[in-house]
Structure 1
Amino acid sequence: MNKIAIASLLSLGAFAAQAETTYPYILQNCGQSVTFETKPETAVSVGQATTEILYALGLDETNLLGTGVWFDDVAAEYAAVNAKVDRLADNDPSFESIVGKRPDLVTIEYEWHIGPDGMIATRDQFHDLGIDTYVLPTDCVGKDNSEGVDGTRSVAFSTSSIYQGISEIADIFNISAEGDALVARLQDREVSAIERAKALNIDDASAVVWYSSVDLESDPYVAGQKGAPAYMLSQLGMRNVVQSDEEWPLVGWETIIKSDPSFIVIAKMERRRFDGDDVAKKLEFLKTDPVASQMTAVKEDRIIVLDVSQMNATMRLISGLETLTDALEAYENGQQG
């Protein structure tokens, strides 16, 4: 058994859930001790990542009363159930709209929505009403959300926090077996994608990951060196040219152009808060800007488009690894560029 597979099994073992959850179930979650007195029957999800975890674990419209904070279309396999669930808001649902559903639990993707300084509410505001909360570990493990726009990581992201979140949500709902099975499937896919990429023996490849820009004349939001995209790059044998510890720092085009990355990875999303959310506008900028168009990655068409959920700390990061690996194999075989 290779080292990657062994690490995968160890990670699964670390978060393996017991067959039945014993209530009250006490959990340390993003700096808070939370107690679930009984199995929750209903929930509202704030964040696409946590919504899709709930669906992947088999929960449906009878359990999930509402959702909010969407970056992209729901994954195709969950489209039917998602159509039956009330979308409280494409972006940020109000505190009142969530409470109005009277859920037992609110699951949260980002602390900045529901946390110490939550723009929707604090966790205590929900707890005071008898509504439990759970924040995905992907947004707090080794991360300080009080620094930077999207937080700053003190410890590099790893997919273990994705698997931890799946297992803990499964425990909360007393469906641990479903959680274990889902984690195992994702880990198998992760190991396979990484092994395929490493077999290519790419030498000294580098990349920048462009998330968005307020407008195309502004500095872009790009992936920092310790977030989910940086994890993906490092696992596939590529170096992130951005060295900031911020999750999505603003970095000037002059700096990016000077680094001349081998690849440019850009986010595709349905959200339209900023001009740079539009992937077509990103591509047009890269190909028409008199300076950016001179980068090697642009000249050689080494531009890889990922759905935004594939470059965030979500289950879909695994499909992002697969998409990147497919692209690298195609470039290596001379099918692109």
Structure 2
Amino acid sequence: MRTKAVAVAAATLLALGLTACGAEIAPGPAAAASAHYPVTVDNCGEKLTFSHRPARVVTNDVNMAELMFSLGLADRMAGYVMPDDKGRVDRVAWKDGYQQTSWLSRKSLTKEIALDAGADLVFAGWHYGFDEGSGVTPQAFKALGIDSYVLSESCRSGRGSERGVMDPLDALYTDLTNLGEIFDVRDRADRLVADFRASIAAVPQPGRRPSVFLYDSGQDKPYTAGRFAAADRIIDRAGGSNIMGDLADSWVTAGWESVVRRDPEVIVINDYATPSAEEKRAFLKSFPPLAGVSAIRNDRIVVMDYADLVESPRNPAAISTLAAYLRTVPAG
């Protein structure tokens, strides 16, 4: 998702408990089929059946590549599509996964990329690679004989173009569990989910819940996180309150009037290359309508990486990092 998506330090990421089960990049069994198959999983309300373990997966964007890497599935990938600005990949425990597969494109996912890579499965999401306007959809890949798996954070709600059908952390656990079934690494997936749940449960909470505005991009109107975006749960589990948490969508456009009226105490900037986090900060601090907002008056602006704030195995570390900041926010 080019979701117009303080960066987490290496020590924070590695302290998460992403040790044996989370960080390993061990190759899977060589056999493409076993008694485990066929398997069926529920993906965004659709039943997907796999007769064998996919062997040439193409992922879209950093978060989906890292979901695969965190499960030790780099050897099942034909490659990943990811812009230059979705990196800081040297800071993650599973960074070796990037060296074990191919960077197929720094541009958008296309049918040609998947075909040229010999893909048997495309792992992407709505507005994380899949888009009706471009014709890059699961249906289009099915017509080419390529299976698709949709990122659960991006599931369509059925009401229109809105996305989100479950708690965003449940979406993370669902995808890890489903991938565990699809690739016959369910034990590894279950350990990783248990580690993530325990890490999040152990995060100390602030004495009160500061209000938080997630700023992704946009000057005429802000692009932000509704209640089905991973960022909403990250803010919530870190001990904050997302001021746009009443919006029944994931990543969504709002209005500056709503931001001013809800007067956030903290602003979280979603950091990716263009525009830079510093350019976003400069805009927010110089934008006249925001001058009286508490977060601007008190200079409480936190920068976090894109991959921390979309559904990814970086979410538990992001919660810990943001919680540490929110505990420093005074009342009033």
Question: Smaller-chain TM-score range?
Answer: 0.7 to 0.9
Quote the Cα distance in structure 2 between the aligned partners of 1:304 and 1:281: 13
Q: Which is worse superposed, 322-331 or 123-132?
A: 123-132
1:232 aligns with 2:234: yes
Higher relative contact order (CA 8 A, sep 6+): 2
Letter in 1 for 2:290: A
Quote the Cα distance in structure 2 between the aligned partners of 1:249 and 1:137: 16
1:246 aligns with 2:249: yes
CA offsets 1:279-313 (integer angstroms, 9 cap, x no match) = 11111122223332332111212212111122212
Q: Is the 8 A contact 1:306 1:323 kept in 2?
A: no
**Does the C-alpha gap of structure 1 residues 292 and 228 become closer, same or farther in structure 2, counting only changes over 3 Å?**
same
CA-CA distance at 1:265 after TM superposition: 1.2
**Does the C-alpha gap of structure 1 residues 221 and 48 become closer, same or farther in structure 2, counting only changes over 3 Å?**
same
**Does the C-alpha gap of structure 1 residues 158 and 113 become closer, same or farther in structure 2, counting only changes over 3 Å?**
closer
Letter in 2 for 1:308: Y
CA-CA distance at 1:52 after TM superposition: 0.4
Match of 2:316 in 1: 318
**What's the TM-score, normalizing by structure 1?**
0.78
Match of 2:22 in 1: none
Match of 2:196 in 1: 186
Alignment of 1:1-337 (within 5 A): 22-60=36-74, 62-70=75-83, 72-73=86-87, 74=89, 76-110=92-126, 113-114=129-130, 117=132, 119-140=134-155, 143-144=156-157, 147-148=160-161, 151-153=162-164, 155=165, 157-193=167-203, 196-197=204-205, 200-202=206-208, 205-213=210-218, 216=219, 218-242=220-244, 243-270=246-273, 272=274, 277-331=275-329
**Does the C-alpha gap of structure 1 residues 102 and 161 become closer, same or farther in structure 2, counting only changes over 3 Å?**
same
Letter in 2 for 1:245: A
Q: Sequence identity of aligned pairs in percent? A: 25
Provide the secondary structure at the position in 1 that maps to 2:160.
Answer: coil
Provide the secondary structure at the position in 2 that maps to 1:249.
Answer: strand
**Does the C-alpha gap of structure 1 residues 225 and 123 become closer, same or farther in structure 2, counting only changes over 3 Å?**
closer
Quote the Cα distance in structure 2 between the aligned partners of 1:106 and 1:58: 17
Provide the secondary structure at the position in 2 that maps to 1:58.
Answer: coil
CA-CA distance at 1:221 after TM superposition: 0.5
Quote the Cα distance in structure 1 between the aligned partners of 2:133 and 2:58: 16
Quote the Cα distance in structure 2 between the aligned partners of 1:152 and 1:53: 20
Provide the secondary structure at the position in 1 that maps to 2:211.
Answer: strand
**Does the C-alpha gap of structure 1 residues 209 and 21 become closer, same or farther in structure 2, counting only changes over 3 Å?**
farther
Where does structure 1 lack aligned partners over 5 or more consecutive residues?
1-19
Cα RMSD between the aligned structures?
A: 2.6
Q: Is the 8 A contact 2:153 2:230 kept in 1?
A: no
**What's the TM-score, normalizing by structure 2?**
0.79
Q: Is the 8 A contact 2:153 2:163 kept in 1?
A: no
CA-CA distance at 1:163 after TM superposition: 0.8
CA offsets 1:131-159 (integer angstroms, 9 cap, x no match) = 2221122222xx427734xx344x55241
Aligned residues between the structures: 295
Quote the Cα distance in structure 2 between the aligned partners of 1:152 and 1:41: 29
Q: Is the 8 A contact 1:111 1:118 kept in 2?
A: no
Q: Is the 8 A contact 2:154 2:163 kept in 1?
A: no
**Does the C-alpha gap of structure 1 residues 112 and 261 become closer, same or farther in structure 2, counting only changes over 3 Å?**
closer
Q: Is the 8 A contact 2:226 2:248 kept in 1?
A: yes
**Does the C-alpha gap of structure 1 residues 248 and 108 become closer, same or farther in structure 2, counting only changes over 3 Å?**
closer
Quote the Cα distance in structure 2 between the aligned partners of 1:183 and 1:225: 21
